[in-house]
Amino acid sequence: MTRVAIAAALVAVGAVSPALSVQAADVAAGRTKAVQCQACHGLDGISKQPDAPNLAGQNEDYLVKALNDFKTGARKNELMSTVVKPLSDTDIANLAAYYHSLRP
């Protein structure tokens, strides 16, 4: 089997996510970046606001998609769109990895 075929097979069975970059996300960097999220979502991922969702233990791919959707405007929330706009793809991956790593 060629490398391309093996990679395609791994993606197809979910062993590798095509959304993740070659470098693994940095949970520690995500924790540092999450300081700006703590007012609503809590540094521990448990929401401090009734309208903000808990993020602790959330699926990493879902968080990446949600943050990117806020960034592009595909998902609407004035506060989230403002907060997410300056985040890089790496920041988003790190935040998603951090919140995914927390216990719900």
Instruction: Tell me, yes or no, whether 5 lies in a domain.
Output: no
What pLDDT, on a 0 to 100 scale, did the predictor assign at position 55?
A: 97
Instruction: Tell me, yes or no, whether 1 lies in a domain.
Output: no
**Digit-coded pLDDT (tens) for 7-42:** 444 444 444 444 444 468 999 999 999 999 999 999
Q: Please give the tally of structural domains in the chain.
A: 1
Instruction: Tell me, yes or no, whether 47 lies in a domain.
Output: yes
Q: pLDDT higher for 93 or 1?
A: 93
Q: In the predicted model, is pLDDT for residue 6 greater than 60?
A: no
pTM here? 0.76
Question: What is the span of the domain harbouring residue 89?
Answer: 21-101
Instruction: Tell me, yes or no, whether 90 lies in a domain.
Output: yes
Instruction: Tell me, yes or no, whether 58 lies in a domain.
Output: yes
Contact residues for 6 (Cβ-Cβ < 8 A; gap 6+): none
DSSP 54: P
Chain length of the chain: 104
**Digit-coded pLDDT (tens) for 36-67:** 999 999 989 999 899 999 999 999 999 999 99
Q: In the predicted model, is pLDDT for residue 4 greater than 60?
A: no
**CA distance readout (Å), 75 to 10, 19, 32, 67, 81:** 30, 18, 25, 9, 8
Instruction: Tell me, yes or no, whether 28 lies in a domain.
Output: yes
Instruction: Tell me, yes or no, whether 49 lies in a domain.
Output: yes
* CATH code, domain with 63: 1.10.760.10
